[in-house]
Amino acid sequence: MTKYLFLNGQVVDYDDAKIHVLTPAMKYGATVYEGIRGYWISDADDIYLFRLDDHLKRLFQSMELAWMEPPYSIDGFKDHIIELVTKNAFRQDIHIRIMVFVMSDDGSMTSRGPVGSAIAALPMGRISSKSETGLNCAVSSWRRISDSATPPRIKCAGNYQNSRLAGIQAENDGYDNVLILNENGKLSEGAGSNVFIIRDGIPLTPSVTDNILEGITRDTIIRLFVEKMGIKAVMRNIDRTELYVADEAFYCGSATEITPIVSVDKHLISGGNVGPLTKAIKGHYLDCVRGKDPLHGEWRTAVYSR
């Protein structure tokens, strides 16, 4: 389906997008990245990229924190993304991964350059077969990485070792997905998404100092709760036992979108069904990303009619 990828300034054939095995990207996980969804809008004959500017802003923040010089300006990245998607001529929902990495040949642990970059645009539908009915989740016995060691605020490949350990443990134990507590025993996030719970009609989500990636979907949801439903979400520490007694809970992320959680450590949430506020905010979210709701036109970048 995907014929072309982007590597170091050029659109190349899928099979030719290769880097050397001894780069610090490979040896030490010296890669920062972003994941962005593109929605195929058949009425407009176009693909809308959701919050592209905000993802690029976060990519630049990750590069700053990881000591990598940006290989392009924000507009340069945008041009390369649009060129790549256009060349592949997708007519379906897609996911774009932008990677920036240290690619010196056999570079050391502290090598900062040269900095390479790659972009992949691949077809992507809903990522879980249970995205409608909800997931049965476990609280991990692994703790989330912390800002004082490997900061989750940097969206870097190395951080996903923590996510892998937690995710695989949950899979091995027969769960669909995982929730990870931080070093203080409070909820941080999922393996690759942020988390909201609902208690007594109030959406709660961990704060940005709870060792989370500052998710763009999380921000979108906080805003849509106010703008569409008149509900103010609260960002605060969340205890493990609050997960067990929550009225509703869901994951959120660019790829994940909004995916309901229907049990945690076998405690049923909302009787094992998807709750009403989760259903409502998911509807508003999907209308927003696809432009069915005209609100926040600045969040959608049309690719083909640009």
Give residues in contact with ligand PMP (CB under 6 A).
Answer: 35, 189, 192-194, 213, 215-218, 253-254
Strands (E), 51-145: 94-102, 115-123, 135-143
Name the nearest CA neighbour of 274 among 139, 128, 88, 56.
Answer: 128
Sheet holding 115-123, edge to edge: 10-13, 4-7, 115-123, 94-102, 31-41, 46-50, 300-302
The amino acid at residue 109 is M
CB proximity list for 110: less than 8 A, separation 6 or greater = none
Kindly state the smallest distance separating residue 137's Cβ from ligand PMP, in Å.
15
Instruction: Count the neighbouring beta carbons within 10 Å of the beta carbon of residue 174.
Output: 8
Kindly state the smallest distance separating residue 255's Cβ from ligand PMP, in Å.
7
Kindly state the smallest distance separating residue 218's Cβ from ligand PMP, in Å.
6
Rounded-to-integer distance, Cα 264 and Cα 170, Å: 11
Nearest residue (CB) to ligand PMP, 35 versus 107: 35
Kindly state the smallest distance separating residue 34's Cβ from ligand PMP, in Å.
8
Q: Is 155 a catalytic residue?
A: yes
Rounded-to-integer distance, Cα 33 and Cα 59, Å: 6
Nearest residue (CB) to ligand PMP, 218 versus 300: 218
Strands (E), the chain: 4-7, 10-13, 31-41, 46-50, 94-102, 115-123, 135-143, 177-181, 187-189, 194-199, 202-205, 234-235, 248-253, 257-264, 267-268, 300-302
Nearest residue (CB) to ligand PMP, 107 versus 192: 192
The active-site residue, picked from 3, 18, 155, 266, is 155
Nearest residue (CB) to ligand PMP, 88 versus 193: 193
Kindly state the smallest distance separating residue 177's Cβ from ligand PMP, in Å.
12
Nearest residue (CB) to ligand PMP, 23 versus 194: 194
Rounded-to-integer distance, Cα 230 and Cα 220, Å: 14
Active-site residue list:
155
